[in-house]
Amino acid sequence: MQLSRLRALLFDMDGVLYRGRAPLPGAAALLAFLDGAGIPYALVTNNSTRTPRQYTRLLARMGMRVPAARIVTSATSTAAYLRGVLPPGARVLVVGEAALRRALVDAGFVPTWERPAAVVVGLDRRIAYRTLALATQALLDGARFVLTNPDLLLPTESGVIPGAGSLAAALQAATGRRPTVIGKPNPRLLREALARLGVAPTATAIVGDQVATDVAAGRAAGLYTILVRTGVRAGGRLARGVRPHLVVRDLRELRHRLVAAGLRPRAAHAPRVPRRRV
Protein backbone atom coordinates (compact mmCIF):
# COMPACT_ATOMS: atom_id res chain seq x y z
CA MET A 1 0.00 0.00 0.00
CA GLN A 2 1.22 3.52 -0.78
CA LEU A 3 1.18 6.24 1.88
CA SER A 4 -1.10 8.33 -0.34
CA ARG A 5 -3.83 5.70 0.14
CA LEU A 6 -3.83 5.86 3.93
CA ARG A 7 -7.19 6.74 5.45
CA ALA A 8 -6.30 6.31 9.16
CA LEU A 9 -3.36 5.73 11.49
CA LEU A 10 -2.91 3.98 14.80
CA PHE A 11 -0.05 4.94 17.11
CA ASP A 12 1.71 3.16 19.90
CA MET A 13 2.49 5.66 22.67
CA ASP A 14 5.55 4.91 24.83
CA GLY A 15 8.62 5.34 22.65
CA VAL A 16 6.61 6.76 19.73
CA LEU A 17 4.80 9.90 20.94
CA TYR A 18 6.81 10.35 24.12
CA ARG A 19 9.32 8.76 26.46
CA GLY A 20 8.34 8.97 30.10
CA ARG A 21 6.94 12.51 30.40
CA ALA A 22 9.00 13.99 27.55
CA PRO A 23 7.42 14.35 24.09
CA LEU A 24 9.41 12.91 21.19
CA PRO A 25 10.40 15.04 18.18
CA GLY A 26 7.56 15.75 15.77
CA ALA A 27 4.80 14.03 17.77
CA ALA A 28 2.56 17.05 18.42
CA ALA A 29 3.15 18.42 14.92
CA LEU A 30 2.19 15.11 13.29
CA LEU A 31 -1.07 14.76 15.23
CA ALA A 32 -1.94 18.37 14.40
CA PHE A 33 -1.16 17.65 10.74
CA LEU A 34 -3.48 14.63 10.74
CA ASP A 35 -6.25 16.69 12.35
CA GLY A 36 -5.78 19.34 9.67
CA ALA A 37 -5.78 16.76 6.89
CA GLY A 38 -8.94 15.12 8.22
CA ILE A 39 -7.18 11.78 8.73
CA PRO A 40 -8.56 9.95 11.80
CA TYR A 41 -6.19 8.30 14.24
CA ALA A 42 -6.26 6.42 17.53
CA LEU A 43 -3.69 5.49 20.15
CA VAL A 44 -3.14 1.87 21.20
CA THR A 45 -0.90 1.22 24.18
CA ASN A 46 0.25 -1.92 25.94
CA ASN A 47 0.87 0.14 29.07
CA SER A 48 -1.76 -0.58 31.74
CA THR A 49 -0.70 2.03 34.31
CA ARG A 50 -2.98 4.89 33.20
CA THR A 51 -6.65 5.19 32.34
CA PRO A 52 -7.63 6.73 28.98
CA ARG A 53 -8.56 9.98 30.78
CA GLN A 54 -5.19 10.07 32.51
CA TYR A 55 -3.49 9.60 29.16
CA THR A 56 -5.54 12.47 27.76
CA ARG A 57 -4.25 14.77 30.51
CA LEU A 58 -0.67 13.55 30.10
CA LEU A 59 -0.73 14.15 26.34
CA ALA A 60 -2.30 17.59 26.78
CA ARG A 61 0.62 18.64 28.97
CA MET A 62 2.90 17.70 26.07
CA GLY A 63 0.90 19.68 23.51
CA MET A 64 -1.15 16.77 22.10
CA ARG A 65 -4.93 16.92 22.42
CA VAL A 66 -6.47 13.47 22.05
CA PRO A 67 -9.94 12.56 23.43
CA ALA A 68 -10.16 9.56 25.74
CA ALA A 69 -12.44 7.73 23.28
CA ARG A 70 -9.50 7.49 20.87
CA ILE A 71 -7.22 5.76 23.39
CA VAL A 72 -7.27 1.97 23.76
CA THR A 73 -5.22 0.49 26.62
CA SER A 74 -4.30 -3.07 27.51
CA ALA A 75 -6.08 -2.62 30.86
CA THR A 76 -9.47 -1.83 29.32
CA SER A 77 -9.06 -4.61 26.73
CA THR A 78 -8.11 -7.07 29.45
CA ALA A 79 -11.28 -6.20 31.35
CA ALA A 80 -13.33 -6.69 28.18
CA TYR A 81 -11.71 -10.09 27.59
CA LEU A 82 -12.43 -11.26 31.13
CA ARG A 83 -16.09 -10.28 30.79
CA GLY A 84 -16.31 -12.91 28.08
CA VAL A 85 -14.74 -15.76 30.09
CA LEU A 86 -15.70 -15.11 33.73
CA PRO A 87 -19.09 -14.58 35.40
CA PRO A 88 -20.04 -11.16 36.79
CA GLY A 89 -18.57 -10.52 40.22
CA ALA A 90 -15.72 -13.02 39.76
CA ARG A 91 -12.70 -12.58 42.04
CA VAL A 92 -9.37 -11.63 40.48
CA LEU A 93 -5.88 -11.24 41.90
CA VAL A 94 -4.32 -8.13 40.37
CA VAL A 95 -0.59 -7.76 39.87
CA GLY A 96 -0.62 -4.19 38.64
CA GLU A 97 -1.30 -0.57 39.41
CA ALA A 98 -4.40 1.52 40.09
CA ALA A 99 -5.50 1.95 36.45
CA LEU A 100 -5.63 -1.81 35.86
CA ARG A 101 -7.46 -2.35 39.12
CA ARG A 102 -9.94 0.42 38.18
CA ALA A 103 -10.62 -1.13 34.75
CA LEU A 104 -11.37 -4.49 36.34
CA VAL A 105 -13.60 -3.03 39.07
CA ASP A 106 -15.51 -0.98 36.46
CA ALA A 107 -16.06 -4.23 34.53
CA GLY A 108 -17.67 -5.82 37.62
CA PHE A 109 -14.79 -7.89 39.02
CA VAL A 110 -13.70 -8.08 42.67
CA PRO A 111 -9.98 -7.74 43.49
CA THR A 112 -8.89 -10.28 46.10
CA TRP A 113 -5.91 -12.10 47.52
CA GLU A 114 -7.83 -15.32 48.26
CA ARG A 115 -9.15 -18.00 45.87
CA PRO A 116 -9.20 -15.83 42.72
CA ALA A 117 -10.66 -17.11 39.48
CA ALA A 118 -7.90 -15.31 37.58
CA VAL A 119 -4.48 -13.76 38.11
CA VAL A 120 -4.19 -10.61 36.01
CA VAL A 121 -0.66 -9.29 35.48
CA GLY A 122 0.23 -5.79 34.29
CA LEU A 123 3.08 -3.41 34.99
CA ASP A 124 3.62 -2.89 38.73
CA ARG A 125 6.49 -0.56 39.62
CA ARG A 126 6.06 -1.23 43.35
CA ILE A 127 5.81 -5.00 43.15
CA ALA A 128 6.20 -6.82 46.47
CA TYR A 129 7.51 -10.35 46.89
CA ARG A 130 4.34 -11.27 48.78
CA THR A 131 2.28 -10.37 45.70
CA LEU A 132 4.36 -12.70 43.53
CA ALA A 133 4.05 -15.44 46.16
CA LEU A 134 0.25 -15.18 46.34
CA ALA A 135 -0.04 -15.04 42.55
CA THR A 136 2.17 -18.12 42.25
CA GLN A 137 -0.01 -20.10 44.66
CA ALA A 138 -3.21 -19.01 42.88
CA LEU A 139 -1.82 -20.14 39.53
CA LEU A 140 -0.72 -23.48 40.99
CA ASP A 141 -4.27 -23.86 42.34
CA GLY A 142 -5.69 -23.46 38.82
CA ALA A 143 -6.58 -19.74 38.43
CA ARG A 144 -6.57 -18.31 34.91
CA PHE A 145 -3.34 -16.54 33.99
CA VAL A 146 -3.93 -13.33 32.01
CA LEU A 147 -1.22 -10.86 30.96
CA THR A 148 -2.08 -7.34 29.83
CA ASN A 149 0.98 -7.18 27.56
CA PRO A 150 4.22 -9.09 27.00
CA ASP A 151 6.64 -6.11 26.88
CA LEU A 152 9.82 -7.01 28.72
CA LEU A 153 11.02 -3.38 28.77
CA LEU A 154 9.35 0.01 29.09
CA PRO A 155 11.11 3.17 27.79
CA THR A 156 11.31 6.15 30.16
CA GLU A 157 13.05 9.52 30.01
CA SER A 158 15.88 8.06 32.13
CA GLY A 159 16.25 4.76 30.29
CA VAL A 160 14.36 1.47 30.19
CA ILE A 161 12.75 -0.40 33.08
CA PRO A 162 11.31 -3.94 33.36
CA GLY A 163 7.83 -4.22 31.85
CA ALA A 164 4.79 -6.37 32.56
CA GLY A 165 6.24 -9.23 30.53
CA SER A 166 9.19 -9.44 32.91
CA LEU A 167 6.86 -9.90 35.89
CA ALA A 168 4.85 -12.54 34.06
CA ALA A 169 8.07 -14.34 33.12
CA ALA A 170 8.87 -14.80 36.82
CA LEU A 171 5.43 -16.33 37.45
CA GLN A 172 5.72 -18.52 34.36
CA ALA A 173 9.10 -19.79 35.52
CA ALA A 174 7.72 -20.53 39.00
CA THR A 175 4.53 -22.30 37.87
CA GLY A 176 5.15 -23.63 34.38
CA ARG A 177 1.97 -21.80 33.28
CA ARG A 178 1.79 -19.68 30.13
CA PRO A 179 -0.46 -16.59 30.23
CA THR A 180 -3.16 -15.52 27.83
CA VAL A 181 -1.76 -12.33 26.31
CA ILE A 182 -4.18 -9.47 25.62
CA GLY A 183 -1.95 -6.67 24.30
CA LYS A 184 0.26 -6.51 21.25
CA PRO A 185 1.38 -8.68 19.44
CA ASN A 186 -2.18 -9.92 19.86
CA PRO A 187 -4.17 -7.77 17.38
CA ARG A 188 -7.08 -7.29 19.83
CA LEU A 189 -6.18 -3.66 20.69
CA LEU A 190 -5.77 -2.71 17.03
CA ARG A 191 -9.11 -4.23 16.03
CA GLU A 192 -10.85 -2.39 18.86
CA ALA A 193 -9.32 0.90 17.66
CA LEU A 194 -10.34 0.20 14.06
CA ALA A 195 -13.92 -0.40 15.20
CA ARG A 196 -13.96 2.89 17.08
CA LEU A 197 -12.71 4.79 14.02
CA GLY A 198 -14.92 2.87 11.59
CA VAL A 199 -12.06 2.23 9.15
CA ALA A 200 -10.80 -0.84 7.32
CA PRO A 201 -7.42 -2.40 8.18
CA THR A 202 -6.35 -2.33 4.53
CA ALA A 203 -6.46 1.50 4.57
CA THR A 204 -4.82 1.92 7.99
CA ALA A 205 -1.22 2.01 9.25
CA ILE A 206 0.15 1.21 12.69
CA VAL A 207 3.12 3.30 13.86
CA GLY A 208 5.22 1.63 16.54
CA ASP A 209 8.74 1.33 17.91
CA GLN A 210 8.98 -2.44 18.40
CA VAL A 211 8.90 -5.20 15.82
CA ALA A 212 7.95 -7.97 18.25
CA THR A 213 4.78 -6.19 19.45
CA ASP A 214 3.67 -3.26 17.26
CA VAL A 215 4.72 -4.57 13.85
CA ALA A 216 3.70 -8.14 14.62
CA ALA A 217 0.24 -6.99 15.77
CA GLY A 218 -0.16 -4.81 12.70
CA ARG A 219 0.77 -7.66 10.40
CA ALA A 220 -1.68 -9.98 12.19
CA ALA A 221 -4.47 -7.40 11.81
CA GLY A 222 -3.73 -6.74 8.13
CA LEU A 223 -2.42 -3.17 8.59
CA TYR A 224 0.41 -1.31 6.89
CA THR A 225 3.25 -1.22 9.43
CA ILE A 226 5.62 1.68 10.14
CA LEU A 227 8.57 1.29 12.51
CA VAL A 228 9.89 4.46 14.13
CA ARG A 229 13.39 4.33 15.63
CA THR A 230 12.74 6.32 18.82
CA GLY A 231 11.93 3.54 21.27
CA VAL A 232 13.87 0.75 22.95
CA ARG A 233 16.56 -1.43 21.39
CA ALA A 234 17.26 0.81 18.41
CA GLY A 235 19.73 -1.67 16.95
CA GLY A 236 18.98 -5.10 15.49
CA ARG A 237 15.20 -4.75 15.43
CA LEU A 238 14.79 -6.10 11.91
CA ALA A 239 16.29 -9.52 12.67
CA ARG A 240 13.15 -11.03 14.22
CA GLY A 241 11.49 -12.57 11.17
CA VAL A 242 8.73 -9.92 11.14
CA ARG A 243 9.56 -6.89 9.04
CA PRO A 244 7.79 -3.52 8.83
CA HIS A 245 6.66 -2.06 5.52
CA LEU A 246 8.41 1.23 6.26
CA VAL A 247 11.11 2.39 8.69
CA VAL A 248 11.50 6.06 9.67
CA ARG A 249 13.91 7.84 11.99
CA ASP A 250 11.21 9.71 13.90
CA LEU A 251 7.76 11.27 13.49
CA ARG A 252 9.22 14.33 11.78
CA GLU A 253 10.39 12.11 8.94
CA LEU A 254 7.00 10.37 8.81
CA ARG A 255 5.21 13.72 8.45
CA HIS A 256 7.56 14.73 5.63
CA ARG A 257 6.87 11.42 3.87
CA LEU A 258 3.11 11.89 4.22
CA VAL A 259 3.36 15.38 2.73
CA ALA A 260 5.53 14.04 -0.11
CA ALA A 261 2.86 11.38 -0.74
CA GLY A 262 0.34 14.13 -1.38
CA LEU A 263 -1.46 14.32 1.96
CA ARG A 264 -2.20 17.93 2.86
CA PRO A 265 -4.22 19.80 5.49
CA ARG A 266 -7.64 20.66 4.14
CA ALA A 267 -7.86 24.29 3.08
CA ALA A 268 -10.49 26.27 4.89
CA HIS A 269 -13.35 27.27 2.63
CA ALA A 270 -13.28 30.97 1.90
CA PRO A 271 -16.48 32.70 2.93
CA ARG A 272 -18.78 33.66 0.11
CA VAL A 273 -18.92 37.37 -0.61
CA PRO A 274 -22.29 38.44 -1.97
CA ARG A 275 -22.11 40.24 -5.31
CA ARG A 276 -23.23 43.79 -5.46
CA ARG A 277 -25.93 44.64 -7.86
CA VAL A 278 -24.95 47.23 -10.38
Which residues belong to the active site?
Answer: 12, 14
- Smallest CA-to-CA distance from 44 within 181, 207, 232 is with 207
Closest CA to 21 of 33, 11, 13: 13
CA distances from 119 to 44, 90, 106, 116 (A): 23, 11, 17, 7
The strand order across the sheet containing 118-121 reads: 110-111, 91-95, 118-121, 144-147, 180-181
Backbone angles phi, psi at 204, to 5 degrees: -125, 145
Spatial separation of the C-alpha atoms in residues 203 and 214, rounded to whole Å: 17
Could you tell me if 205 and 30 are in contact, meaning their C-beta atoms sit under 8 angstroms apart? Answer: no
Using CB atoms within 10 A of its CB, is residue 80 exposed (0-12), middle (13-18) or buried (19+)? middle
